[in-house]
């Protein structure tokens, strides 16, 4: 039987649920993907990107406490996170939003300023 995602240090039930929504169903799958590819899948599945969540995952996959990330290592992880976040498309909140975006009729907050 596969190990649950929550068996990895620092990762609890909420992270395990986010992984399931992204199609990651075991600790083995998560380890095989690695932090960057797994976090990209989480973002694509609709998880809101958050630096702390990212570095908690990185530390967990290394078997380290979440708060072990400091100094230059943390700066380097921040750069990796920012690059990952900017290069990964986030899933729309719903199908209707995706459809409206596709045809260019969705109104954003900046569009309302001229009304």
The pTM of the full predicted model, rounded to 2 decimals, is 0.77
Distance CA 87, CA 82 (A): 9
* Domain boundaries, position 42: 5-112
Domain count, the chain: 1
The predicted-structure confidence for 17-64, as pLDDT tens digits, reads as follows: 999 999 999 999 999 999 999 999 999 998 999 999 999 999 999 999
The predicted-structure confidence for 66-115, as pLDDT tens digits, reads as follows: 999 999 999 999 999 999 999 988 765 566 665 665 676 655 555 545 44
Contact 88, 43 (CB under 8 A): yes
CATH of the domain at 44: 1.10.150.20
What's CA 61's distance to the chain center, in Å?
Answer: 15
């Amino acid at each position: 039987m596969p190990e649950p995602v929550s068996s990895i240090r620092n990762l609890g039930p909420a992270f395990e649920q986010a992984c399931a929504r992204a199609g990651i169903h075991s600790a083995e799958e998560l380890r095989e993907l690695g932090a960057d590819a797994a976090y990209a899948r989480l973002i694509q599945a609709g998880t809101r990107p958050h630096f702390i969540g990212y570095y908690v995952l990185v530390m967990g996959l290394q078997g380290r406490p979440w708060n072990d990330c400091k100094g230059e290592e943390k700066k380097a992880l921040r750069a990796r996170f920012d690059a990952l976040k900017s290069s990964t498309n986030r899933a729309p909140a719903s199908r209707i939003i995706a459809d409206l975006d596709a045809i260019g009729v969705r109104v954003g907050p900046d569009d309302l300023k001229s009304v």
